[in-house]
């Protein structure tokens, strides 16, 4: 494993989110075009290739996510956040993999995706957004997978430092990151 990051999951998850979101966007846009519009075939091809590529990244993302789930240091509260993220991620991944297989079937038969496929894709992308949100919560709210957090002195009135020659003052905030990164002994 590369020593600058604790696990590989953050690398692959961004490809999964980007590719699958773009695929659904192009499926939706293709259906908004007038019948026999010159871009319909191109947008369908773009949607399919993004979906299929996203499905490949999804498999890798789920595998690296499973390793991250079982290896990052966490406490009880962050464990609950991790578990919620996992519980959204697995059905979302399965749904997109099924959509990918359906798209292959449509493509082999020279058919275009039907309304149920587009509707389910729209639901799947909403699930993907929720899964991504929960993953971000785990990192940014609970510090999961973060090697170190900056030390913050909440007693200080304001925080002063320079950016490109300008003095920046940051007001005190009540949000203090969770710096408890001790491993726990409970089962995953």
For the entire predicted model, the pTM comes to: 0.76
**pLDDT at 54 > cutoff 90:** yes
**pLDDT at 48 > cutoff 90:** yes
Query: Is pLDDT larger for residue 165 or for residue 102?
Result: 102
Q: Is 169 helix (H, G, I), strand (E, B) or coil?
A: strand
Give one DSSP letter per residue of 62-128, joined into a string.
HHHHHHHHTTS---HHHHHHHHHHHHHHHHHHHHHHHHHHHHHHHHHTTPPP-HHHHHHHHHHHHHH
């Amino acid at each position: 494993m590369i020593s600058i990051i604790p696990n590989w999951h953050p690398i692959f998850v961004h490809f999964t989110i980007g590719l699958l979101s773009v695929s659904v966007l192009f499926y939706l846009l293709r259906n908004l075009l007038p019948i026999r519009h010159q871009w319909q075939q191109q947008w369908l091809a773009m949607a399919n290739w993004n979906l299929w590529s996203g499905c490949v990244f999804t498999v890798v993302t789920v595998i690296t996510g499973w390793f991250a789930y079982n290896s990052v240091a966490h406490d009880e509260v962050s464990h609950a956040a991790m578990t919620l993220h996992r519980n959204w991620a697995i059905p979302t991944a399965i749904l997109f993999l099924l959509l990918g297989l359906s798209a292959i079937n449509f493509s082999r038969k020279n058919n275009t995706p039907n309304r149920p496929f587009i509707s389910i894709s729209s639901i799947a992308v909403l699930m993907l957004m929720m899964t991504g949100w929960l993953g971000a919560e785990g990192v940014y709210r609970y510090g999961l997978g973060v090697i170190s957090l900056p030390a913050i002195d909440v007693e200080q009135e304001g925080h002063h430092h320079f950016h490109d020659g300008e003095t920046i003052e940051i007001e005190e905030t009540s949000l203090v990151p969770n710096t408890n990164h001790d491993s726990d002994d409970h089962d995953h």
